[in-house]
């Protein structure tokens, strides 16, 4: 089992050893894909934090009638294949889409834009952050909240001074998971955002097309993406360690 | 009871005696055909006919971009037959000794056509309109044969529509799709105003409007087909190719919009 995980990655690293490696890694196509991937996945992560944190907080603390259904809705993108996500986004927000056709009337067309890349990443990756934030907020001791209430803290203070510091590590590791997933997003992006260098061609897309044209570029990008993912995963591991102080 | 047993015995002997006499059922074999994505519909039909004629054979297709198929073969994927949308990938396999040069034959030819959504939202009536500003064009990526042929055709059009025609047209490209079927799908969904595919793709996706590209501006693609050197079923691979090249096979290909070589 471990071999199944290890051998393919090991093979990629071995095959990528090539005097041309740095030429491939720093080719124009590779660099523009890298730049686009970093920008879009960062925007996705920031949006996930901005909109996901309040959502997770509400889900953890408020009594909502349809809470199980909302939670199901948030978990769904995690298990759906990305191609389903891409097709659904296209059917909803495409030029002829259910909502996209209205956007089109006011001159907004989402497919084939960088915004579409971010939307695809959000759809697929943001639930990971919301999930871990919800778990983080739910895990807070009720007595602490009550104590803060006794001290006269209002809701905002309670959130900022108590909840946020206590959950910061969970939130951060959730954010890194979202970031990693967004960095690797492929299926939804190629369907909804298409493929144009510098506009929608992210690293996974360049790897896929590189596979068809130049295996060297694809391998160099694969190595870079794998290394970046390892670093990000190690940092979540480090964050998840229990407090030592 | 005794009679029943003896009857059973007789039956068993009869069956046992018969079995060797009947023609031995041929071993079931699987023929792996790696074919360019544009051949999907035609080859599926050819494969079904081939299976009906050879009941012990299961034809398994792997349809993808020709260059992806070539990489898969080079990396050791078990293929018996390879049908490419261009000579380049076949030549590469010949160079790598995966295919014998003499074994490669031209299967068919295919030409380019402009496709539009049926309601033609951008009002494109001629090839020249493709370079008008504000039009959304989807092409196959340059790495894919049809994408390269499209760009070659634009170069030819420069001579007729002005030297900056292809440059203006390429500025309208909103996506370079990874295979030709994706181009047709994006136009069918109406997400873009125009795309370039093979005539065969326009036939396979009927709810599209088309603009013909005159022969002098067109790029004719020749599809080579060959058995793989390492095929475990060389005779069968050859039989499949012979069927695809036969009048019957060619008729099926023509039905799906291809032209004979």
The residue-averaged pLDDT of A47-76 equals 91
- pLDDT(A34) > 60: yes
Residue B77 three-state SS: coil
- pLDDT(B211) > 60: yes
Which tokens hold the place of A136? 């983080």
Q: Other C-beta atoms within 10 Å of B136: how many?
A: 21
Q: Which residues of A touch B174 (CB under 8 A)?
A: 111-112, 194, 196
- pLDDT(B44) > 80: yes
Residue whose tokens read 């790495």? B143
Highest mean pLDDT among A75-79, A173-177, A226-230, B240-244: B240-244
The residue-averaged pLDDT of B193-210 equals 89
Tally of domains in chain B:
2
Q: What is the mean pLDDT of chain A?
A: 87
Identify the helix (H) or strand (E) that includes residue B119: none
Same domain, B118 and B94: no
Please state which of the ranges B2-11, B157-166, B184-193 shows the lowest mean pLDDT.
B2-11
Long-range contacts of B18-26 (CB under 8 A, 24+ apart): B25/B56, B26/B56
| pLDDT band with cut points at 50, 70 and 90 for residue A245 | very low
- Residue B12: half-sphere exposure toward Cβ, Cα within 13 Å: 6
Measure Cα distances from B229 to A51, B98, B103 in Å: 58, 5, 9
What pLDDT does A221 receive?
Answer: 86
Cβ-nearest to A196 among B173, B190, B191: B173
**Is residue B14, in this structure, part of any structural domain at all?**
no
What pLDDT does A31 receive?
Answer: 87
Could you tell me the residue range of the domain that residue B230 belongs to? 29-109+222-255
- pLDDT(A243) > 70: no
For A90-105, the pLDDT digits (tens) are 989 988 888 888 888 8
Please state which of the ranges A11-20, B17-26, B187-196 shows the lowest mean pLDDT.
B17-26
Q: What percent of chain A has pLDDT over 90?
A: 33
CA distance B259 to B222: 10
What pLDDT does B116 receive?
Answer: 96
Residue of A nearest to B171 (CA): A196
Question: What are phi and psi for residue B115, nearest 5 degrees?
Answer: -115, 150
Are the beta carbons of A192 and A186 closer than 8 angstroms?
no
- Which of B206, B205, B184, B204 lies closest to B196 in space, CA to CA? B184
Same domain, B104 and B230: yes
Superfamily of domain A38-200: MetI-like (1.10.3720.10)
CA distance B141 to A213: 10
Residue B179 three-state SS: coil
- pLDDT(B11) > 70: no
CA distance A204 to A195: 11
For B84-115, the pLDDT digits (tens) are 988 999 999 999 999 999 999 999 998 999 99
Q: Which residues face B115 on adjacent strands?
A: B195, B210
Q: Do B67 and A208 touch (CB under 8 A)?
A: no
Size of interface A-B (CB pairs under 8 A): 58
- pLDDT(A214) > 80: no
Cβ-nearest to A212 among B68, B174, B190: B68
| pLDDT band with cut points at 50, 70 and 90 for residue B67 | confident
Handedness of CA A101, A107, A111, A115 (dihedral sign): negative
Q: What percent of chain B has pLDDT over 70?
A: 90
Highest mean pLDDT among A61-70, A142-151, A160-169, B153-162: B153-162
Same domain, B126 and B212: yes
- pLDDT(A218) > 90: no
For A183-199, the pLDDT digits (tens) are 999 989 988 998 888 88
Same domain, B100 and B116: no
DSSP letter assigned to residue B178: S
What pLDDT does B21 receive?
Answer: 46
- Residue A234: half-sphere exposure toward Cβ, Cα within 13 Å: 6
Chain centroid to CA B164: 33
Same domain, B94 and B132: no
Same domain, B79 and B206: no
Cβ-nearest to B175 among A95, A112, A208: A112
Q: A187: distance to nearest CA of chain B, Å?
A: 12
Same domain, B169 and B148: yes
Which tokens hold the place of B94? 């010949």
**Is residue B160, in this structure, part of any structural domain at all?**
yes
Question: What are phi and psi for residue B72, nearest 5 degrees?
Answer: -60, -45
More confident position, B70 or A160: B70
Q: Which residues of A touch B177 (CB under 8 A)?
A: 194-195
Q: A194: distance to nearest CA of chain B, Å?
A: 5
DSSP letter assigned to residue A109: -
Residue of A nearest to B189 (CA): A96
| Sheet bearing B57-64, strands edge to edge | B57-64, B29-36, B81-83, B221-227, B105-110
Q: Do A196 and B144 touch (CB under 8 A)?
A: no
DSSP secondary structure, B217-245, as one string: G---EEEEEEE-TT-S-HHHHHHHHHHHH
**Is residue B5, in this structure, part of any structural domain at all?**
no
- pLDDT(B16) > 60: no
Same domain, B116 and B51: no
Chain A residues whose C-beta is within 8 A of a chain B C-beta are 90, 94-96, 109, 111-112, 190, 193-197, 200, 208-209, 211-213, 215
The residue-averaged pLDDT of B109-138 equals 93
Q: A65: distance to nearest CA of chain B, Å?
A: 38
Which tokens hold the place of A42? 């960062």
More confident position, B7 or A133: A133
The residue-averaged pLDDT of A190-209 equals 87
Residue of A nearest to B88 (CA): A213
Please state which of the ranges A165-179, A200-214, B165-179, B245-259 shows the lowest mean pLDDT.
A200-214
| pLDDT band with cut points at 50, 70 and 90 for residue B20 | very low
Q: Which CATH number is B206's domain given?
A: 3.40.190.10
Same domain, B63 and B96: yes
What pLDDT does B15 receive?
Answer: 52
**Is residue B15, in this structure, part of any structural domain at all?**
no
Same domain, B102 and B116: no
């Amino acid at each position: 089992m471990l071999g199944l995980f290890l051998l393919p990655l090991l093979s990629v690293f071995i095959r990528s050893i090539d005097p041309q490696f740095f030429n491939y890694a720093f080719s124009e196509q590779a660099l523009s894909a890298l730049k686009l991937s970093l920008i879009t996945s960062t925007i996705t992560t920031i949006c996930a934090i901005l909109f996901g944190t309040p959502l997770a907080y509400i889900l953890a603390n408020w009594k909502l009638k349809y809470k199980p259904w909302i939670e199901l809705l948030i978990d769904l993108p995690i298990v759906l294949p990305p191609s389903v996500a891409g097709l659904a986004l296209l059917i909803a927000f495409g030029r002829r889409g259910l909502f996209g056709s209205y956007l089109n009337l006011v001159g907004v067309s989402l497919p084939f834009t960088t915004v579409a890349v971010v939307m695809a990443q959000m759809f697929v990756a943001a639930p990971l952050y919301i999930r871990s934030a919800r778990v983080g907020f739910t895990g807070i001791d009720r007595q602490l909240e009550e104590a803060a209430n006794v001290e006269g803290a209002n809701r905002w203070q309670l959130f900022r001074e108590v909840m946020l510091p206590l959950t910061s590590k969970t939130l951060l590791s959730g954010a890194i998971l979202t970031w990693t997933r967004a960095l690797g997003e492929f299926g939804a992006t190629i369907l909804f955002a298409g493929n144009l260098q510098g506009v929608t061609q992210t690293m996974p897309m360049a790897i896929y097309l590189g596979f068809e044209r130049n295996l060297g570029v694809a391998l160099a990008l694969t190595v870079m993406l794998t290394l970046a993912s390892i670093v990000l995963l190690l940092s979540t591991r480090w964050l998840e360690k229990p407090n030592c102080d | 009871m005794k009679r029943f047993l003896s009857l059973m015995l007789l039956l068993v002997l009869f069956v046992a005696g018969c079995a060797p006499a009947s023609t031995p059922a041929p071993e079931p074999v699987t023929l792996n055909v790696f074919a360019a994505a544009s051949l999907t519909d035609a080859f599926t039909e050819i494969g079904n006919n081939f299976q009906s004629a050879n009941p012990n054979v299961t034809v398994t297709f792997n349809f993808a971009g020709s260059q992806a198929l070539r990489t898969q073969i080079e990396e050791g994927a078990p293929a018996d037959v390879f049908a490419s949308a261009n000579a380049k990938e076949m030549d590469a396999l010949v160079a790598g000794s995966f295919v014998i040069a003499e074994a490669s034959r031209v299967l068919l030819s295919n030409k380019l056509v402009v496709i539009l959504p049926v309601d033609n939202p951008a009002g494109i009536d001629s090839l020249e309109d493709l370079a008008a500003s504000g039009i959304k064009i989807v092409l196959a990526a340059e790495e894919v044969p049809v994408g390269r042929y499209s760009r070659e055709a634009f170069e030819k059009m420069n001579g007729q529509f002005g030297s900056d025609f292809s440059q203006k047209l390429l500025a309208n490209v909103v996506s370079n799709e990874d295979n030709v079927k994706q181009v047709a799908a994006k136009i069918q969904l109406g997400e873009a105003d125009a795309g370039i595919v093979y005539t065969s793709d326009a036939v396979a996706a009927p709810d599209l409007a088309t603009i013909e590209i005159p022969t002098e501006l067109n790029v004719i693609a020749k599809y080579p087909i060959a058995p793989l050197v390492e095929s475990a079923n060389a005779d069968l691979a050859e039989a499949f190719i012979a069927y695809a090249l036969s009048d019957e096979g060619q008729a099926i290909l023509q039905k799906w919009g291809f032209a004979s070589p």
